[in-house]
């Protein structure tokens, strides 16, 4: 069956596109939303993930306002936040940020929160925040320097991508693996299905 429901993904993340594709879902349009992602003073990581995902979804809704092609669309947005305690780690763009994050994560547990926001065709807003606990091995200087050289840290929350080399750093993971990649599949599909989106339409018969 062909996918008939129209889904707008308010993100340009290749990881989120790939995860949706894994579940048989192809967004009709990618709409990366450029909003201020600066945490508020004393903001909890969970609250930040919720606020940013909602902000991106609402920004996408505003961008398609008045466009009849997307009048009956679903809008999906997500934002992933990595934290140690209440300390929020940045999405690393500079190598010193990534180095600092990796030294902080070395040998300890951290949490990954992904806020997922869905705006339905009748413009109801649905939200979830998924929490995964991850523990890294103790990273040697060689581990960190070699990982920094790989470039896989660039633009990643907490300075690493679990689906790449950094997967070998993980000693223990409690919760959703796809949440750490950037989009918790089980919870996202449950959210879509609960609001009438046909999540099976893109599945093909064996």
Q: Is 79 a catalytic residue?
A: yes
E-strand ranges in the chain read: 7-9, 29-30, 74-84, 87-89, 109-119, 125-136, 170-174
**Separation of alpha carbons 44 and 85, rounded Å:** 9
Instruction: Identify which of 158, 172, 164 has the alpha carbon closest to the alpha carbon of residue 146.
Output: 164
**How far does the chain reach from its first CA to its final CA, in angstroms?**
12
- For residue 135, the cross-strand partners are 109, 172
Question: What are 29's strand-pairing partners?
Answer: 8
Q: What are phi and psi of 153, to 5 degrees?
A: -80, -20
Cα-based distances in Å from 80 to 86, 91, 151, 189? 15, 9, 19, 17
Do 129 and 97 contact (CB within 8 A), yes or no?
A: no
Which one from 79, 122, 131, 143 is the annotated catalytic residue?
A: 79
Question: Which residues does 203 contact at the CB level (< 8 Å), separation at least 6?
Answer: 1, 24
Question: Residues with catalytic annotation?
Answer: 79
């Amino acid at each position: 069956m062909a996918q008939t429901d129209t889904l707008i993904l308010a993100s340009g993340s290749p990881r989120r596109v790939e995860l949706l594709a894994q579940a048989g879902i192809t967004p009709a349009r990618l709409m990366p939303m450029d909003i201020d992602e600066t945490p508020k003073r004393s903001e909890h990581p969970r609250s930040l993930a919720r606020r940013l995902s909602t902000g991106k979804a609402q920004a996408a809704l505003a961008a398609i306002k008045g466009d009849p092609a997307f009048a009956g669309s679903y809008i999906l947005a997500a934002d992933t936040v990595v934290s140690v305690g209440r300390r929020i780690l940045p999405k690393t763009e500079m190598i010193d940020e990534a180095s600092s994050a990796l030294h902080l994560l070395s040998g300890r547990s951290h949490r990954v929160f992904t806020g997922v926001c869905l705006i339905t065709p009748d413009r109801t807003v649905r939200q979830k925040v998924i929490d995964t606990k991850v523990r890294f091995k103790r990273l040697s200087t060689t581990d960190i320097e070699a990982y920094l050289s790989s470039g896989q840290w660039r633009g990643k929350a907490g300075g690493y991508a679990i689906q790449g080399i950094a997967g070998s750093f993980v000693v223990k993971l409690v919760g959703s693996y796809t949440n750490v990649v950037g989009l918790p599949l089980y919870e996202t599909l449950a959210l879509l299905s609960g609001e009438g989106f046909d999540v099976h339409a893109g599945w093909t018969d064996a």
